[in-house]
Chains A and B, each alone.
Chain A
Amino acid sequence: MEETVIAMEALDAEIARTEKAPKQIEMSANGVSVWFGKRKVLENVNIDFPKKTVTALIGPSGCGKSTFLRTLNRLHELIPGAALAGEVLYEGDDIYRQDVDPVHIRLAIGMVFQKPNPFPSMTIRGNVLSGLKLSGLKRKDHDELVEQTLISAGLWKEVKDRLNAPAGDLSGGQQQRLVIARALAVNPHVLLMDEPCSALDPASTLKIEETIRELSKDITIIIVTHNMQQAVRVSDYTAFFLAEENQPGFVVEQGLTTEIFGNPRDNRTLDYVNGRFG
C-alpha cells in the first residue's frame, strides 16, 4: 500500500516535470566541436536547453562534459590553444559573435565550480556581493540582496549571524552554497554547475540538490555530474556524453531524464546508467 503511494507520487512528479517540457529554448548548442591545440575533444554536440529546466550532462571522465560546459559561458577561450566550431545560442544570439562581450555573457550565464572557490580575502557578505563589485553593477539594496540570495542558496539560516566572518571559516558544503549565492547575486538567467557536489559530504549534497530544484523555478540550470542518482533526482533532461579512446567526445543520447534512465535507446547508455562502465 505504502509503496503504491510512493510510486504514485513519483509519477505525479514526473508528469509535472514532463509538462514543463514544451517550453521556450533558453540556450542551445548547434554543432559544437572543441579543440585543445590540435586535439579534438568534442565533436558535433547539439543540445537545446529549455527555459527554467535542469539539464544533467552525464558520462565517464574525460568525455568532454566539463569542457562543453565551459564553452557555454566563454570560459573555454581562456585556456591557451583552445578552439571551437559551431555556434552557441543564448536567447537566439550566438554568444561567440565578434561584437559580443564575454563579460556580458558571463554575467547572464553564471557558473559554480567543482571545488568551492570563495574569495579568501573577503567576508561572507563580501563574497555574496563580490559579483556586483567585480562586474561593476550598481544595486542599492545590498542587505536585501544578501538575504535573498543566501535564502535561495539555502545558507541564510546558518550564516545570518556572522555575515562579516571570513568566508574561509565555512565548511566545504557551506562554501559551495555561498558560491551559489554569489553567482545568483548578479541575477543570471542560466546557471552552469560543474560537478558541484563531488567534493562534498552526502548531507551537503542533499542540501545543494534541494537548492537546485528550488532555483529551477526561476532559472535554467545545466549541471555536470558523475552521480547518476543525482541526475535522476534533480534533472528534467539528460544528455549522455561518451568518448572512445583517443577520439573526441560526442553525445550518444539525450532527452527526458525519465527516458534516458528508464528506457534508453542506445545500449551504451543502458550500460552506463546501470553502472556497467565509467
Chain B
Amino acid sequence: MTTLMSEAPEIREQDLVPQRPWSKRPTSFWLAALLGTAVPLSFAGVLYFTTEIAAPLLLIVVYLPLQLVSAGVAGYVAKGKHGILDSGLIVFAIGSTILSAVILGSMLATIIARGFEALRPSFIFQNSVYISPSTPLDYGGVGHAIVGTFLIVGIATIISVPLGIASAVYVTEIRGRAVPYVRFFVQAMSGVPSVVAGLFVLTVFILTGVMRQSALAGAIAYAILMLPTVARTAEEVLRLVPEDLRTGALALGSTRSRVVFNVVLPAARTGVITAMLLGVARVVGETAPLLLTALKNDQTVVNPFSDPISALPTFIFDNVAQPYPDAVTRAWGAALVLMVIVAVLFTLTRLLSGRNSMNK
C-alpha cells in the first residue's frame, strides 16, 4: 500500500483547475482568421481614401469578393478542403448579421437623435389645437395622440383579450370537434392585412351609419388584428399547463369551468398576460386602419363614441411628408414616444416569459 502511494505522480496544480482543452485552437487558426479579415478590410479602406470609387461599389465589387477569397484561403489553411465552403458560409452569415444590426441600429439611433429634438414637457402634455405644420416646436404636442393611442388600444384589449382567451380555452380545454377548424381560422385571420381590417369596420359600422369614425371604430379594427395574436399565444401557454393539474382537479369533482378558472388560467397567469402584451404590441403602431376608421383630431378626445380621434401612428403619418422641418421633427418626436411604448411592452414580455420558463 505505502509503496503504491509514494509512487503516485505528484499532482500538478493546473490539473486541479477545470479546463477545456477542446476549445483551444491552434495558432495557425488565429493567424488565418486575422489575415482573412484584416487584408481585405485594409485594402478596401485604402482604396476608399485614395480613390474616388463610390462606397457601395467598393463594398460589393472590391471588398466582398476579396473577403470571400481571403476567408477561403484562411479556411483552407485552418481546416483543409472542408474549410473553403465553411468560411464562405461564415462570411455571408456574419455579413447578414451585420447588415440587420446596422439597419436596426440606424433606425433606433435616428429615432432617438431626431426624436429628442422635439422632446420637451409641452410636447408630451399638450395637444395640437391651433398648431399648424409651421408652428415652432415650443408649442403644441402629442398629448392628444398619446391619449388616443391608449384609449383605442385599451378598448381593443377589452374586446379582443376575452375572445382570444376563449378561443384558446376551446382548443386546449373544451377540445371539441371543431378544434382543427378554430385553429385554422385563427391562423387565417392572422394574415388579414391591417388595411382590410380598417375597410371591414368602415363598411360594416361607418358606411351603414351605426357609428362615426371614432376611437371605438378604430378599436374594433385593432381588435380584429389583435385577436389572432392573443389566441395563438394564449393557446401556447395553456398547452404548457401540465395535464396532471387538470386531471387532479377533475378527480376532485371539479366541473370544466372551474378547472379553467381556478386551476388552468391561474397556473398560466404570466403567460396569459404575455399574450395580452404581445397583442397590444402587434397593433400599437398600426396606422392604416385608423386612417379609415378614426381619422384625425387636433383636440384631446376622451369620448370613444363621438368624435374622430388622433393616435400616435396617425399623428406621425400626418406630419411626415410636410414641407416644414418642424412638422417633420414632430413626427420624429411622436415616433420616439411610440418606440418607447413599444420598448416597454417588449421588455415586459421578455421579463414575463423569462420568469415563465424559470418556473418550469
Contact = CB atoms under 8 A, between A and B. Distances in A.
B254 A119 contact: no
B247 interface: yes
B252 A182 contact: yes
A78 B247 contact: yes
B251 interface: yes
A80 B262 CA distance: 24
B251 A103 contact: no
Interface stretch (B263-271, B296-304, B318-326): B263-271
A134 B244 contact: no
Contacts of A183: 251-252
B253 A107 contact: yes
Given A134-B254, A134-B262, A135-B258, 9 more contacts: A73-B251, A75-B250, A103-B253, A106-B251, A106-B254, A113-B248, A121-B266, A134-B263, A183-B251
B245 interface: yes
A107 B172 CA distance: 24
Interface of B: 175, 242, 244-245, 247-255, 258-259, 262-263, 266-267, 269, 359
B266 to A, nearest CB: 4
A78 B258 CA distance: 16
Interface string A105-131: 011001101010101111000000011
A146 interface: no
Nearest to B255: A103
A253 B300 CA distance: 82
A186 interface: yes
A78 B250 contact: yes
Contacts of A131: 252-254
Contacts of A111: 251
For the complex of A and B, the 6 pairs showing the least CB-CB separation, nearest first, are A107-B253, A134-B254, A121-B266, A117-B244, A111-B251, A135-B253
Contacts of A130: 249, 252, 262-263
Contacts of A121: 263, 266-267, 269
A104 interface: yes
Contacts of A133: 258, 262
B127 to A, nearest CB: 43
B266 A134 contact: no
